[in-house]
C-alpha cells in the first residue's frame, strides 16, 4: 500500500531507517549475531538463495530486467546474508539476519536513491517465506504483505503489492560458468525489433507525437538533412514539419542488423527507403546507425545517424 507523505515525514522515516541500519550493523558485528537460526532456514538459504540471479520484474504493465546476488557475509559462520541488486535507475543493498527473540528473518534495505525499507519474514514453509514489508520507496510510504518462494532449485520469485498493484519478480539462477552480465539476447532483439516496427508504423501514419515518444527525452539525432536535433520535443517538431510538407511520404526499413551490448543497450543498423517524397533533391534510399537504450521498461532511441546512399542499379 502506498501513501503520499510530507517532506518532514520522509526525513523522519529516513532518520529512523538510518538508525535501524546502525542497529543492524551493530547486531551483525556481535559474536551472537545469527545465533539460534534454525538449521532448516540456513539450509533453505544455502540451497535456494545463495548465488547470482537474473530476473524480470513485472509492475504496472512494465517489465524491467534486474540482476542480483545473495551471499553469506561470513561463509564459515553463515549468520548473516548480504543482498545486492542492479536495475534501471538505481542499485539496492540489503542485510539479512535471523532475529532469535522473535524468530523472524529480517532484511534491512537501502537504495542508491535514498530509499529505506524493512521486510520481515515470519512464516516459513518448505518452498515459501511469507511476511510483511514497510518503509519508504520511490518517495512514498510502502506497507505490504510480502512473499519469497522457490518453485525449483533454479527459480526464485518475490511478490508484494506496490501502489495497490502486484509487484512480481521472477528470477532464474545464473550458472557459475556464465558471465556476470548474462542476458537473453534473443528476447532483447525481439523487443527492439517490435519497437522498430512501431516506429515504421507511426511514420507511415504520419503520427509525429507517437514517433517522438520512441526517442529519449535527451536524444541526439542527425538525419540526411544534416540538422542536429536534440531532445524529444525537437524530434516531434521535425516530424510534424516533415508530414506537413510531404503528405504522401512513406518509409520502409530493411537489412536490419543489431549488436546487443548489454541488457539495456543495443546498437542497430539498417537500410531505409522513401516513397511519396515530392522533392526530387531528397535521397530516396539511405542507411542509419542508432543506439537503443532501455529506460523504465521501454526501449528508446538515444542516438541516431542517417545518410542517403545512391539507389542500387
Cell reading at 196: 522498430
Beta bridge partners of 93: 84, 110
Report the alpha-carbon distance of residue 212 to residue 180 in Å, rounded.
34
Report the alpha-carbon distance of residue 232 to residue 121 in Å, rounded.
45
CA 130 to chain centre: 25
Burial class for 60, CB neighbours closer than 10 Å (0-12, 13-18, 19+): exposed
Beta bridge partners of 119: 107, 133
Query: Which is it for strands 51-59 and 2-3: parallel, antiparallel or unpaired?
Result: unpaired
**Backbone phi, psi, residue 207, to 5°:** -100, 90
Q: Looking at residue 89, what is its pLDDT?
A: 75
Q: Where are the domains of the chain?
A: 2-173, 185-308
Report the alpha-carbon distance of residue 174 to residue 54 in Å, rounded.
6
Cell reading at 274: 522513401
Q: Looking at residue 181, what is its pLDDT?
A: 54
Tell me how long the chain is.
Answer: 313
DSSP state of 74: S
Measured from the Cβ of residue 239, the count of other Cβ atoms closer than 10 Å reads 21
Residues 160 and 167 sit within 8 Å (Cβ to Cβ): yes
Beta bridge partners of 29: none
**DSSP assignment of 217-281:** EEEEEE-TT--EEESHHHHHHHHHHHHHH-TT-EEEEEEEEEEE-SSSEEEEEEEEEEES---TT
Domain 2-173 matches domain 185-308 at the CATH topology level: no
**Backbone phi, psi, residue 156, to 5°:** -145, 125
Helices (H), the chain: 7-29, 39-48, 185-204, 208-212, 232-245
The hierarchical CATH code for the domain 185-308 is 3.10.450.50
Report the alpha-carbon distance of residue 179 to residue 177 in Å, rounded.
7
Report the alpha-carbon distance of residue 149 to residue 151 in Å, rounded.
7
- Digit-by-digit pLDDT tens for the chain (313 residues) are 344 444 544 454 444 444 444 444 444 444 444 567 999 999 999 999 999 999 999 988 888 888 999 999 888 888 889 999 888 778 889 999 999 889 999 999 988 888 889 999 999 998 999 999 999 887 788 899 999 999 998 999 999 988 788 999 999 998 775 554 557 888 999 999 999 999 999 999 999 999 999 999 999 999 988 999 999 999 999 999 999 999 999 999 999 999 888 888 899 999 999 999 888 888 999 999 999 999 888 999 999 999 998 876 5
Map grid coordinates 529512523 to a residue: 16
Q: Please give the C-alpha separations between residue 189 and each of 125, 261, 263, in angstroms, as whole numbers.
A: 39, 11, 10
Measured from the Cβ of residue 296, the count of other Cβ atoms closer than 10 Å reads 9
Measured from the Cβ of residue 261, the count of other Cβ atoms closer than 10 Å reads 15
pTM over 0.75: no
CATH 2.40.128.20 fits 2-173, yes or no: yes
> Given strand 265-275, what is the order of strands in its sheet?
228-230, 215-222, 298-308, 285-295, 265-275, 250-260
Amino acid at each position: 500500500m502506498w501513501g503520499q507523505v510530507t517532506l518532514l515525514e520522509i526525513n523522519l522515516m529516513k532518520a529512523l531507517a538510518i538508525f535501524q541500519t546502525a542497529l543492524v550493523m551493530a547486531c551483525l558485528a556481535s559474536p551472537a549475531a545469527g545465533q539460534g537460526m534454525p538449521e532448516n532456514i540456513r539450509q533453505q538459504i544455502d540451497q535456494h538463495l545463495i548465488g547470482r540471479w537474473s530476473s524480470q520484474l513485472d509492475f504496472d504493465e512494465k517489465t524491467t530486467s534486474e540482476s542480483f546476488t545473495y551471499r553469506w557475509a561470513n561463509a564459515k559462520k553463515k549468520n548473516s546474508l548480504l543482498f545486492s541488486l542492479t536495475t534501471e535507475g538505481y542499485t539496492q543493498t540489503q542485510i539479512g539476519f535471523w532475529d532469535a527473540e522473535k524468530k523472524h528473518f529480517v532484511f534491512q534495505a537501502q537504495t542508491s536513491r535514498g530509499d529505506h525499507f524493512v521486510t520481515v519474514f515470519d512464516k516459513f514453509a518448505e518452498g515459501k517465506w511469507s511476511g510483511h514489508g514497510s518503509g519508504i520507496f520511490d518517495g512514498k510510504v510502502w506497507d505490504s504483505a510480502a512473499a519469497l518462494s522457490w518453485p525449483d532449485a533454479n527459480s526464485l520469485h518475490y511478490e508484494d503489492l506496490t501502489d495497490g498493484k502486484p509487484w512480481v519478480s521472477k528470477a532464474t539462477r545464473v550458472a557459475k560458468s556464465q558471465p556476470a552480465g548474462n542476458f537473453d539476447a534473443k528476447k532483447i532483439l525481439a523487443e527492439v525489433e517490435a519497437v522498430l516496427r512501431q516506429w515504421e508504423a507511426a511514420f507511415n501514419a504520419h503520427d509525429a507525437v507517437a514517433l517522438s515518444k520512441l526517442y529519449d527525452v535527451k536524444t541526439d539525432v542527425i538525419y540526411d538533412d544534416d540538422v542536429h536535433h536534440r531532445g524529444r520535443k525537437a524530434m516531434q517538431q521535425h516530424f510534424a514539419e516533415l508530414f506537413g510538407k510531404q503528405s504522401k511520404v512513406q518509409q520502409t526499413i530493411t537489412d536490419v542488423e543489431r549488436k546487443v551490448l548489454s541488457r539495456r543497450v543495443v546498437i542497430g543498423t539498417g537500410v531505409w527507403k522513401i516513397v511519396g517524397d515530392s522533392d526530387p533533391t531528397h535521397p530516396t534510399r539511405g542507411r542509419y546507425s542508432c543506439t537503443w537504450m532501455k529506460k523504465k521498461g521501454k526501449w528508446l532511441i538515444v542516438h541516431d545517424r542517417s545518410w542517403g546512399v545512391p539507389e542500387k542499379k
